[in-house]
Amino acid sequence: MILALYVAVLPSAFADSQDTLRILAFGDSLTAGYRLSKDDAFAHQIEASLKSQGYSVEVQNAGVSGDTARQGQARIAWTLKRGVSFDVVLLGLGANDGLRNSPIAQMKTSLEECILNFKKAGMHVYLLGMRLPLNFDKKYRDDFEKVYVDLAKKHNVALYPFALEGVAMNANYNLQDQIHPNKQGHKIIAERLEKWLKNDSFFKGSLEKAKLQPKAQ
């Protein structure tokens, strides 16, 4: 899977900003935008929305289909060596671990390493939680979801409870597999996630620094 760097043209009505907010969307197929164009994935939609509001923002989609938490952990160093520094990471891994009934402890260890590595790189981490379908064993589901809650609390990172809120199990917002969101599903994810991020004090402050000033006429 090719990692795409989305760089949109800044609105011509605004002057350059000295504080571009750089965001890394790091995850699996739910981040990558499985079977969709790069413009349809929620990462690009968030970038486009914020730019239309006059913010200097760049979002890199580093979603790789099929990645488990451990596989994501293994490619962090490579991702961060590509010459671009990031202020924020939207970390969305674990879904494939759950769907494969992988050991919870293994997933937790790998996800924790991801958080620590990103923090070490000076990035503000937002953890995107995941839930499993109801046909999974209840104890496994509960333990799976608890991983996100525990790690967010332990490492003092903000937890977005469910990345697919308002989209999961809705045929109108998913591809035929009923697992991967379609274009409309990603639009809903982007809108909900952007609204949630704007309520976070760190993100709100970062956006204010990245606000573009209107050009003198």
Mean of the per-residue pLDDT values of the chain:
92
Model confidence at 213: pLDDT above 90? no
Q: Is 180 an annotated catalytic residue?
A: yes
Q: Do the Cβ atoms of 3 and 32 come closer than 8 Å?
A: no
DSSP assignment of 151-178: HHHHTT-EEES-TTTTTTT-GGGB-TTS
- 57-82, pLDDT tens digit by residue? 999 999 999 999 999 999 999 998 87
- Name the strands in the sheet holding 124-128, side by side, starting at the edge strand that comes first in the sequence: 4-6, 57-63, 21-27, 88-92, 124-128, 158-160
Q: Is 177 an annotated catalytic residue?
A: yes
- 154-208, pLDDT tens digit by residue? 999 999 999 999 999 999 999 999 999 999 999 999 999 999 999 999 999 999 9
Q: Domain locations in the chain?
A: 18-209
Q: Is 150 an annotated catalytic residue?
A: no
Tokens of 137: 């064993």
Alpha-carbon gap, residue 79 to 5, rounded angstroms: 11
Q: Which fold has domain 18-209?
A: Rossmann fold (3.40.50)
**Where is 91: in which H helix or E strand?**
strand 88-92
pTM score of the predicted model: 0.90
Overall average pLDDT of the 122-128 stretch:
98
- 79-97, pLDDT tens digit by residue? 988 778 999 999 999 999 9
Catalytic entry in 40, 67, 180, 206: 180
The pLDDT value given to residue 82: 78
Model confidence at 130: pLDDT above 90? yes
Model confidence at 4: pLDDT above 90? no
| Strand pairing report for 88-92 and 21-27 | parallel
AA identity, residue 182: N
Model confidence at 17: pLDDT above 80? no
Overall average pLDDT of the 144-159 stretch:
98
Catalytic entry in 29, 56, 110, 206: 29
Overall average pLDDT of the 101-108 stretch:
98
**Where is 182: in which H helix or E strand?**
none
Overall average pLDDT of the 126-135 stretch:
97
